[in-house]
């Protein structure tokens, strides 16, 4: 099997280092080798990005960038099925979801293409005569974008789209577990007509290739999505030379169900919140807070909805829940469930699935009832299809439990009472709050975390702030 090549300066390049083998998480069969980028490979990619930045891309017109981005969006939409297949084989996302993910990535890029020629500064009032004071928004420079495996195409686009709109150049480092989709996007960018070096992709490991990118003195900004512990390492390394950083990290989001809610809609939403993508989502609603008056009835409905999930071969369009990404992730999820048995009750799932699925890393929908918020199952990000249900008696208590977490990425409230909805939305310390909904991501809206869930925002005009430097120009007029 041939190993992946890097994509540097507009062409595919053989790597100089070792390779890593990957297996298909649905059946444990080998799917290919990933080239591990060395320091030299990272150097070559950063040099190519710097040359492209200095040789005209940073001064390119917004309308030129917009056209290229729209062309790339069309190519991604045309290739959505191929990209979906790559993601599904690499990390096990059911094909219907990975297809949707690729199409969403194209839409996300289109949205930011619309911004490329609308990034403006301000004219600033000055308390003195004969002065013109204005601001300019300039690209930050070379961006190192480090991507996880759980939604490889859309998370790649969360970084590329605003970075390209603002005139930056990029070195992409996909996850070693889901490399081929993001790598294909770099190749498509060359086909769309982006100048060589604007988008480069170095494949490889985190501790080797990723860490070399973060430490590289030629990189101006690191944009990272991944685990909180890795985020801390990256922030420390990038902080040494004060690189700009955006971090989108883990979560332990609270999904609050009030007694007055539409309980069927809330039960379907509560399942989707944590079972879609096998719970391997930073925004997973992994803590389900339910008003005690309806707790038993509601958990009954959740259990019925969860049992209806179709778990199986991720290549089938009807599959809703595929395997976990790796043996390591499977072990991790099962270890959390085993620990939860001490003090809480596993009312559904919690075991590796056998039969036809025995060669893959499958765990079905798992419900933990009788959990307390101080248990590990309610405090740590599991990244599996495991929901910890906790009853509450008052809205104040629900908000207190929701906020008693090191994380603050997202949350939701299900209620038909407008005033409860807005009160909870205001009081929860998290970056995204859904009301009577869960999971929806709008390209125009800010997305990111409070507390240990991250730094900075993706989405909308907020993303442009983190990919530009603002310069003030003060002019004394005669």
Q: Which residues are catalytic?
A: 248, 282
Interface residue with ligand TXE, options 44, 80, 140, 147 (CB under 6 A): 147
Stretch that binds ligand TXE, among 50-58, 244-252, 368-376, 437-445 (CB under 6 A): 244-252
Tokens representing 76 are 């991604």
Question: Shortest distance, CB of residue 369 to ligand TXE, whole angstroms?
Answer: 23
Please list every residue from 263 through 282 that binds ligand TXE, using CB under 6 A.
Answer: 282
Closest distance between ligand TXE and the C-beta of residue 65, in Å? Answer: 26
Q: Which stretch binds ligand TXE (CB under 6 A): 5-13, 27-35, 121-129, 243-251?
A: 243-251
Using the minimum distance from each CB to ligand TXE, give the nearer residue, 162 or 449.
449
Between 88 and 329, CB nearer to ligand TXE: 329
User: Between residues 407 and 434, which has the closer beta carbon with respect to ligand TXE?
Assistant: 407
Is 364 an interacting residue with respect to ligand TXE (CB under 6 A)?
Answer: no
* Residue from the set 4, 22, 150, 255 that interacts with ligand TXE by CB under 6 A: 150
In sequence order, which residues have a C-beta less than 8 Å from that of residue 335 and are 6 or more positions away? none
Alpha carbons 441 and 155: distance in angstroms, whole number: 12
Helix (H) or strand (E) holding 269: helix 263-275
Tokens of 270: 């509560």
List residues bridging with 114 in a β-sheet: none
H or E element in which residue 332 lies? helix 327-340
Residue 384 CB neighbours (<10 A): 27
297-309 burial code (b ≥16 CB/10 A, e <16): ebbebbbebbeeb
Q: Is 349 in the site for ligand TXE (CB under 6 A)?
A: no
Q: Which of residues 282-321 bind ligand TXE (CB under 6 A)?
A: 282
Helix, strand or coil, per DSSP, at residue 347: strand
Per DSSP, helices labelled H in 152-241 are 152-165, 180-192, 211-215, 228-240
CB closer to ligand TXE, 27 vs 228: 228
Question: Candidates 65-73, 95-103, 247-255, 463-471 — which segment interacts with ligand TXE by CB under 6 A?
Answer: 247-255
Residue 248 token pair: 């989108």
Q: Which of 471, 410, 126, 88 is nearest to 249 (CA)?
A: 410
Query: Which of 90, 220, 248, 291 contacts ligand TXE by CB under 6 A?
Result: 248
Confirm or reject binding of residue 226 to ligand TXE (CB under 6 A): yes
- Per-residue binding string, ligand TXE, 174-203, x by CB under 6 A, is -xx---------------------------
Both tokens of 473, joined, read: 């120009």
Give the single-character DSSP code of 208.
I
Pairing type for strands 169-173 and 142-146 reads: parallel
* Residue with the CB atom nearest ligand TXE in the bound state: 206
Q: Least distance from C-beta 403 to ligand TXE, angstroms?
A: 20
Other Cβ atoms within 10 Å of 289 Cβ, number: 26
Alpha-carbon distances of 331 from 23, 337, 378, 422, rounded to whole Å? 16, 10, 18, 39
Shortest Cβ 147–ligand TXE spacing (Å): 6
The reply on whether position 211 binds ligand TXE by CB under 6 A is yes
User: CA 354 to CA 346: how far, in whole Å?
Assistant: 18
Residue with tokens 């919140």: 273
Q: How far is the CB of 45 from ligand TXE (least distance, A)?
A: 14
The answer to whether residues 136 and 121 touch, using CB atoms and an 8 Å cutoff, is yes
- Residue of the chain from 91, 109, 142, 146 that contacts ligand TXE (CB under 6 A): 146
In this structure, how many other beta carbons lie within 10 angstroms of the beta carbon of residue 478? 3
Measured distance CA(463)–CA(448) in Å, rounded: 10
Please tell me whether residue 357 binds ligand TXE under the rule CB under 6 A.
no
> What secondary structure letter does DSSP report for 227?
-
Query: How far apart are CB 349 and ligand TXE at their closest, in Å?
Result: 18
Shortest distance (Å) from residue 249 CB to ligand TXE: 5
Question: Binding string to ligand TXE for residues 374 to 413, with x set by CB under 6 A, is what?
Answer: -------x-x------------------------------
Tell me how far apart the alpha carbons of residues 298 and 348 are, in angstroms, rounded to a whole number: 15
Q: Which two tokens stand for residue 94?
A: 């059911």
- Of 109 and 333, the one with the shorter C-beta distance to ligand TXE is 333
State the minimum distance, in angstroms, from the CB of residue 326 to ligand TXE: 8
Is residue 42 part of the contact set for ligand TXE (CB under 6 A)? no
Residue 365 touches ligand TXE, criterion: CB under 6 A: no
Does 230 engage in binding with ligand TXE (CB under 6 A)?
Answer: yes
User: Residue 203: what are its φ and ψ, rounded to 5°?
Assistant: -90, 160
Shorter beta-carbon distance to ligand TXE: residue 41 or 313: 41
Question: In the complex with ligand TXE, which residue's Cβ is closer, 89 or 381?
Answer: 381
* CA separation for the pair 374, 290 (Å, rounded): 16
Q: Cβ 145 to ligand TXE, closest distance in Å?
A: 10
- Count of positions on this chain that bind ligand TXE (CB under 6 A): 26
What is the binding site for ligand TXE (CB under 6 A)? 146-150, 173, 175-176, 205-207, 210-211, 214, 225-227, 230, 233-234, 248-250, 282, 381, 383
């Amino acid at each position: 099997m041939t190993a992946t090549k890097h994509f540097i300066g507009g062409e595919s390049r053989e790597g100089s280092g070792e390779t890593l083998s990957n297996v298909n998480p649905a059946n444990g069969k080998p799917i290919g080798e990933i080239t591990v980028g060395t320091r030299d490979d990272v150097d070559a990619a950063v040099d190519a990005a710097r040359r492209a930045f200095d040789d005209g891309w940073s001064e390119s017109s917004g309308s030129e960038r917009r056209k290229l981005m729209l062309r790339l969006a069309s190519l991604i939409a045309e290739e959505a099925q191929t990209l979906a297949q790559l993601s599904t084989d690499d990390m096990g996302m059911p094909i219907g979801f990975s297809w949707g993910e690729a199409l969403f990535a194209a839409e996300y890029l289109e949205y930011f293409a619309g911004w490329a020629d609308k990034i403006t500064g301000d004219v600033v009032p000055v308390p003195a005569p004969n002065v013109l004071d204005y601001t300019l928004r300039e690209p930050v420079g070379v961006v190192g974008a480090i991507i996880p495996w759980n939604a490889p195409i859309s998370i790649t686009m969360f970084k590329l789209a605003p970075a390209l709109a603002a005139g930056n150049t990029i070195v992409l480092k996909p996850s070693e577990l889901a490399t081929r989709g993001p790598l294909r996007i770099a190749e498509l960018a060359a086909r769309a007509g982006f100048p060589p070096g604007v988008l480069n992709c170095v494949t490889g490991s985190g501790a080797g290739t990723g860490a070399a990118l973060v430490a590289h003195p030629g990189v101006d900004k690191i944009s990272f999505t991944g685990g909180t512990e890795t985020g801390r390492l990256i922030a420390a390394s990038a902080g040494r030379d004060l690189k700009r950083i955006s971090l989108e990290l883990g979560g332990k989001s609270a999904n609050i169900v009030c007694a007055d809610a539409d309980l069927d809609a809330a039960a379907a939403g509560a399942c989707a919140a944590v079972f879609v993508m096998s719970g391997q989502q930073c925004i997973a609603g992994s803590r389900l807070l339910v008003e005690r008056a309806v707790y038993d009835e509601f958990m009954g409905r959740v259990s019925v909805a969860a049992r209806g999930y179709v778990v199986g071969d991720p290549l089938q369009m009807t599959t809703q829940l595929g395997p976990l990404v790796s043996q390591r992730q499977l072990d991790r999820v099962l270890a959390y469930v085993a620990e939860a048995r001490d003090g809480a009750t596993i009312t559904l799932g919690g075991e590796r699935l056998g039969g036809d699925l025995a060669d893959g890393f499958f765990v079905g929908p798992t419900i933990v009832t009788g959990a307390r918020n101080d248990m590990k199952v309610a405090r740590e990000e599991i990244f599996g299809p495991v929901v910890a249900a906790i009853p509450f008696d008052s809205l104040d208590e629900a908000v207190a439990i929701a906020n008693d977490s090191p994380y603050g990425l997202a949350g939701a409230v299900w209620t038909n009472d407008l005033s409860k909805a807005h009160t909870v939305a205001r009081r929860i310390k998290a970056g995204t709050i859904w009301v009577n909904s869960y999971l929806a991501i709008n390209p125009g809206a800010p997305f990111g975390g409070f507390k240990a869930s991250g730094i900075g925002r993706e989405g909308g005009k907020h993303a442009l702030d983190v990919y530009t430097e603002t310069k003030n120009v003060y002019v004394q007029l005669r």
